[in-house]
Amino acid sequence: MTNSTDDLQTRIDTLARAPVPPGRLQIGGRHVAGEGGEAEVISPIDGRVLTTIATAGAADVDRAVAAARAAFEDGRWSRQPPAARKAVLMRLADLIDAHALELAVLGVRDNGTEISMALKAEPGSAAATFRYYAEAIDKVTGEIAPTAAGVLGLVHREPVGVVGAIVPWNFPLMIGAWKVAPALAMGNSVVLKPAETASLTLLRLADLALEAGLPPGVLNVVTGPGHITGEALALSRDVDVLVFTGSGATGRRLLEYSARSNLKRCYLELGGKSPNIVFADAPDLAAAARAAATAIFRNAGQVCVAGSRLLVEASVQEPFLAELVAATGAMRVGNPLSLATQVGAVNSDGQLQGNLRFVRDARAEGGRVVTGGERVLADTGGYYMAPTVVADVAPAHRLFREEVFGPVLAVTPFTDEAEAVRLANATDYGLAAGVWTANLSRAHRMVRAIRAGVVHVNTYGGADITVPLGGVRQSGNGHDKSLHALDKYTDLKTAWIQL
């Protein structure tokens, strides 16, 4: 390592040794205990207790929602001029940057993402997201409708009120910012519920928001399990919009809770089984193989848009597999707090055991495990899995159809473009996809033919805050990122004025 890298690693190691104080709920700008007591936070790095977080019960959630409603109705934030809201969100972005290393290390200790990825994907992305929506605040306007003579038609954009946000454990700070930043930018109040296995950075975010000048009660954070805390938030009759990233099973429950309560709008970013399609004429098969490995194995496969199904033109399948196995073998699995690690820990023991069951089922159904397939580094006490490539996966196999959310790649051959499209679309999901080809016309045809919210061409995983992320079919509805995300957090009101 260079001196600068050595220095950074030393700072990471120092932060990693610091004790983590117990996490408490933040309601109305105050830290409070939860009626459900405390729950242990187990670090996936070594399987040890890192700290505790509060468990919010239904009464705690009601108090958080009431605090958010009071803050919204009295206008302490919702009626602030756009320039004032912008200044606060800009200060929050600056504070995230100032505490970036602290936040990244805290998050890695909590959820196991490799630190080299976490630095960019968590505080780096979150700060950029708050800046983006801060800049957008005073540029999003209403409309003057082209009405008949003698009538003035105005279309106003108004904040929806109280937003409930439930975010997952894989990238809590990044995904949390995708929900919180646009909601706050439009003048809403928010009750944020992190995953119980990755709450610490979002609790810290709430502290930084207060320091930046966000009025108390505008952002509240309630921690606890989904079946208690999340359910209470989704059933609340005083939450106007619910936004969620996570599993399809949970998304279905949230829709049920909406129907049972106040018919709140629900925007769901759900799972994916994204196809990464390699044609024989790909510009550089070795580069495509390296990208395919990264597309599935970074963050131990715990990425919503992960390229978890590799579709390879049959004429190049075996040489491509050789390149893929070489690229996979070069990826270092280990302590996610090391800058040298490229594949970190699986988030929990339960997730690890589920990943291993997928591999066992794939073998039983005729899949060929080319590399990996087992737990590694068990002596650390942590939850680590070797990056796994399974060839000969047929469309009927479970590994072809269901999301693993782990470092397991299914490989299936195809013979022509038509079959590639059929295989790509042969799941219930439609979140992301990749296409590797030197044929420009084919690339455009594939973009049109694949049913997915994001299609990458001759790359995989690249996108920033300027473009929307959302899925089709059972990958959800609505969009995070870009100006399109603002639609979730505003209502349109028409003024029809006789002149």
Catalytic residues: 269
Q: Using alpha carbons, select from 71, 475, 56 the residue that is nearest to residue 247.
A: 475
CB 398 within 8 A of CB 298: no
Query: What's CA 103's distance to the chain center, in Å?
Result: 17
Alpha carbons within 13 A on the beta-carbon side of 230:
20
Q: Using alpha carbons, select from 140, 157, 446, 143 the residue that is nearest to residue 282.
A: 446
Report the distance separating Cα 364 and Cα 369, nearest Å: 11
| Extended beta strands in 344-399, E state | 368-371, 375-376, 384-385, 388-391
Sequence-separated (6 or more) residues with CB below 8 Å from residue 353: none
Report the distance separating Cα 448 and Cα 189, nearest Å: 38
Sequence-separated (6 or more) residues with CB below 8 Å from residue 188: 72, 78, 159, 160, 161, 162, 163, 241, 489
The H-or-E segment that residue 30 falls in is strand 30-32
3-state secondary structure of 408: strand
Strands 275-278, 309-313: pairing is parallel
CB 408 within 8 A of CB 388: yes
Strands 275-278, 432-436: pairing is parallel
Count the neighbouring beta carbons within 10 Å of the beta carbon of residue 332: 12
Report the distance separating Cα 130 and Cα 98, nearest Å: 14
